[in-house]
């Protein structure tokens, strides 16, 4: 089973990380793996990320089972093969299935906001759910 952590960045910071996604990924990786820096990195993440609207997101998701536990909304699909946990800080998506089965959930999230950034720390995969466009100075 693999896990994606999905964060919603503030617009002004998202634009500054276009084409520098590796730096953003390293920040989220430190958050997950370097325990002595946890509090410092958490403050940095809180600064560049927007809180998630759990109500808005949960209305859009087609999961079958839902429960609320400890300030999180947890969705379960296909007999535990896919799970999603939503808190105000991030969305976590666990999947035993292939990427084809994950894309519908990513598509739903990207339709809500263009500044969702997903990363799988264990497999070192990351990126915007919806590619962020940037302004070129070249004509």
Classify the C-alpha dihedral 12-127-119-29 as positive or negative: negative
Measured CA to CA, the distance from residue 61 to residue 20 in angstroms comes to 30
* Structural domain contains residue 138: no
**How far, in Å, are 6, 40, 70, 91, 115 from residue 76 at the CA level?**
17, 32, 16, 13, 25
Q: What is the CATH number of the domain that holds 44?
A: 3.30.310.250
* Other Cβ atoms closer than 10 A to 36: 7
* Structural domain contains residue 133: no
pTM: 0.85
Q: What is the pLDDT along the chain (139 residues), one digit of tens a residue?
A: 889 999 999 999 998 898 899 999 999 999 999 999 999 999 999 999 999 987 788 777 766 566 666 667 777 666 666 788 888 899 998 887 665 667 778 888 888 999 999 999 999 999 999 876 555 444 4
Q: Domain tally for the chain?
A: 1
């Amino acid at each position: 089973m693999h896990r994606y952590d999905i964060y919603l960045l503030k617009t002004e910071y998202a634009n500054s990380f276009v084409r520098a996604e590796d730096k953003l990924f390293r920040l989220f990786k430190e958050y997950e793996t370097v325990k002595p820096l946890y509090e410092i990195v958490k403050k940095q993440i809180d600064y560049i990320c927007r809180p998630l609207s759990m109500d808005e997101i949960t209305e859009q998701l087609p999961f079958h089972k839902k429960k609320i536990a400890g300030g999180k909304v947890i969705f379960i699909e296909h007999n535990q093969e896919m799970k999603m946990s939503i808190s105000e800080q991030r969305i976590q998506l666990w999947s035993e299935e292939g990427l084809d089965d994950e894309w519908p959930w990513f598509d739903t999230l990207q339709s809500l906001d263009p500044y969702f950034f997903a990363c799988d720390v264990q497999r070192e995969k990351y990126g915007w759910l919806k590619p962020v466009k940037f302004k070129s100075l070249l004509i």
